[in-house]
Structure 1
Amino acid sequence: MTEIDSPSGAAAQAPSTLNDIEKQASQSEAPQKKNSTFKNLGLLDQFLAVWIFLAMAIGIILGNFVPSTGPALQRGKFVAVGLLVMMYPILCKVRFESLHHVFKTRQIWIQIAFSIVVNWIIAPFFMLALSWAFLPDEPELRQGLILVGLARCIAMVLIWTGLAGGDNEYCAILVAVNSLLQMVLFAPMGVFFIQVISGDIIAFQYSTAAKSVAVFLGIPLGAAILTRFTLRWATSPRWYDEVFLKWASPWSLIGLLFTILVLFASQGRHVVHQIVSVVRVAAPLIVYFAVIFFLTLLVTYRLGFGYKLAATQSFTAASNNFELAIAVAVATFGADSNQALASTVGPLIEVPVLLGLVYAVKLIAKRLDWKD
């Protein structure tokens, strides 16, 4: 996965404008342009699709043919470990020490405001509309989809952006912003969407949702901030960038694969034995990912965004934090609930669709000669 911090140790010097961010990103990539993007990726990144599908397949096989697997994994501890391992290295790359400089520019606030509108207004309400359009007679599956729509992506989006050649610097800023917003907005918006708008009479408690968000987001975010400031002070920014981040980066994908395996092992029997429900949930998810991605891409293109920023905005809008949605669904409704099943279908659909969109956006950029 493309590094967010440059190895030169210049992380302490924040770019003053978003154009500077783009310039630094392009300069850091310049020596690699002689080779293909695929060859520049690590072994895990090169065969990401293969590893993900293998993790899914192994998880489903374990869940269906090893009876004790599902109940053992549904306790949530394994998912928590996977989430922490996956998100911690990603958040360690965010330049927290320089964000206050970046936020002084008007341009960055325009970009962040655009992202917030798409991520926290348009996308969740569109998922709400799709859940009612496709599942008017299945309130529990509908509630699971609503949770997926509210869980904005802060982990996988960095992987999609890196594979598509987007702006990893700006994506890291969005990760930081969405992490904070998600801890504040997820629980109240869940109550508003499920109990107020949908009118569902269920025990969706604010405290339970808020606790799940605090654990699955607050712990890795706090640990990453502490690690970054402590290690950079105790050693040097150069050592942190070139040694620590190089060692920590692969753990993000390892954590992702472990999380996917655990999720599908714990829900494997439900996925196989409730195939009709899986298909019904998959349909609105496919529509959601495609429409939100291409709509955002079209708007950013019309607004004159460069390719890197447009790709980053589009993947951020279309991606979802399915791990958080599953964690909240399991904690609130139970591991055997239809809400948990609906949220589990999220990665089953999102991973192959978003991988396809990586290739699609690169093809579009090539045909349009879309540059920065």
Structure 2
Amino acid sequence: MNKEEQKGLGVFERYLTIWVILCMLIGVLIGKYLPMIPQALGQFEYYQVSVPTAILIWLMIYPMMLKIDFTSIVSAAKKPKGLIVTCTVNWLIKPFTMYAISAFFLFIVFKGLIPNDLAKEYLAGAVLLGAAPCTAMVFVWSYLTKGDPAYTLVQVAINDLIILVLYAPIVALLLGIGNVVVPIGTLILSTVLFVVIPLTLGIVTRLFIIKSKGIHYFETIFLKKFDKVTIIGLLLTLVMIFSFQGERILSNPLHIVLIAVPLVLQTLLIFAIAYGWAKWWKLPHSIAAPAGMVGASNFFELSVAVAISLFGLQSGATLATVVGVLVEVPVMLFLVKVANGTKSWFSDVNQVIETNKS
């Protein structure tokens, strides 16, 4: 990010990583010392999906959905290269590299530090993460890299459909568990809560405001009212998630670090593959950045819910999925900086696109 871009950022955006870490710490401390708060909020669940968390995710996604119109979605679907990158990396590469990297570290590198039975549980949690590409938070990462919101939506929609078909078979294949039962209700409800509802609200709001106030008012005044809402929603979501897991994180500090190592390496590897492939295929930065983010990040809401359903709340698998949340946001913010810092790699492509538009 150059100096001019930094001047355009307020203190809030410029030090986002610090605010993220502080919110994670606040959440952990709330879970440790004020457990009655997450206990009360935990009562509002449906199909193992936290309703308060869903509301906060709406707060994150809604402002981005306001920018999407149907014509841009249709045009995005006509450009298949980015979708090919996303689908190939997410479903033919990512689950298997997650298994390989996690197994190598948990069973070989950290063999003397983690009991074998517990390592198997941690591996199960890692696989649950690796087989579930991001569908909600990716809208935030796309927003922070100035990604094409319509294209991001198409990528997410396709991933949602594929998850419904391939998630359980891939998990069963990698873990050798023949009786894996993925809660379809959780899958469908997550899709409705994190994509369908905010998209519908965004479209309805967009149409109403444009009809009553005009497109100029909508783009220059109304949208600016939501400039900080997405990031505020992200921070509050982190406080919520980590308040539920504070006790478990504090009671397993060494294992948290050991689990985090393969998860971080996996995230960096998948981003490099998708982002590098997009560069090689000469895709514009507004498509390349979200393509890398979709694969690198995980659908942690689903992963945690499935881990609890299959292995129990106190299992190592569930702890591993929580560690996935713990490391994902700081690592993804780092990758956002990488994507923004390498935008010049795509300058020729971006200039051609702008020329064609004019």
Work out the CA distance in 1 between the residues paired with 2:135 and 2:7.
26
Q: 1:84: which partner in 2?
A: 58
How many residues in Structure 1 have an aligned counterpart in Structure 2?
Answer: 332
Q: 2:327 aligns with which of 349, 355, 360?
A: 349
Q: Which moved more, 1:83-92 or 1:153-162?
A: 153-162
The within-5 A match list for 1:90-239 is 90-104=64-78, 108-135=79-106, 137=117, 138-161=119-142, 163=144, 166-169=145-148, 172-200=149-177, 201-239=179-217
Q: 1:280: which partner in 2?
A: 258
Tell me if structure 2 keeps the 8 A contact 1:60–1:267: yes
Q: Which moved more, 1:53-62 or 1:86-95?
A: 86-95
Q: 1:68: which partner in 2?
A: 36
Q: List alignment gaps of at least 5 residues for structure 1.
A: 1-32
Q: Is 1:254 the equivalent of 2:222?
A: no
Q: 1:29: which partner in 2?
A: none
Q: 2:297: which partner in 1?
A: 319
Q: Which moved more, 1:321-330 or 1:55-64?
A: 321-330
Work out the CA distance in 1 between the residues paired with 2:336 and 2:258.
25
Work out the CA distance in 1 between the residues paired with 2:58 and 2:307.
18
Q: 1:220 to 1:184 in 2, by over 3 A?
A: same
Work out the CA distance in 2 between the residues paired with 1:216 and 1:154.
8
Q: List alignment gaps of at least 5 residues for structure 2.
A: 44-49, 108-116, 350-358
Tell me if structure 2 keeps the 8 A contact 1:334–1:340: yes
Q: 1:270 to 1:174 in 2, by over 3 A?
A: farther
Q: 1:306 to 1:181 in 2, by over 3 A?
A: closer
Give the TM-score normalised by structure 2: 0.79
Tell me if structure 2 keeps the 8 A contact 1:59–1:261: yes
Work out the CA distance in 2 between the residues paired with 1:318 and 1:39.
29
Q: 1:345 to 1:364 in 2, by over 3 A?
A: same
Q: Is 1:51 the equivalent of 2:19?
A: yes
Q: Which moved more, 1:267-276 or 1:55-64?
A: 267-276
Identity of aligned residues (%): 30
Tell me if structure 1 keeps the 8 A contact 2:85–2:278: no
Q: 1:317 to 1:208 in 2, by over 3 A?
A: closer
Work out the CA distance in 2 between the residues paired with 1:217 and 1:369.
29
Work out the CA distance in 2 between the residues paired with 1:72 and 1:238.
44
Give the 3-state SS of the residue equivalent to 2:18 in structure 1.
helix
Q: 1:261 deviation in Å?
A: 0.3
Give the TM-score normalised by structure 1: 0.76
Work out the CA distance in 1 between the residues paired with 2:301 and 2:81.
29
Work out the CA distance in 2 between the residues paired with 1:271 and 1:294.
29
Give the 3-state SS of the residue equivalent to 1:168 in structure 2.
coil
Deviations 1:335-369 (Å, cap 9, x if unpaired)? 54444322221232122223333444555667x79
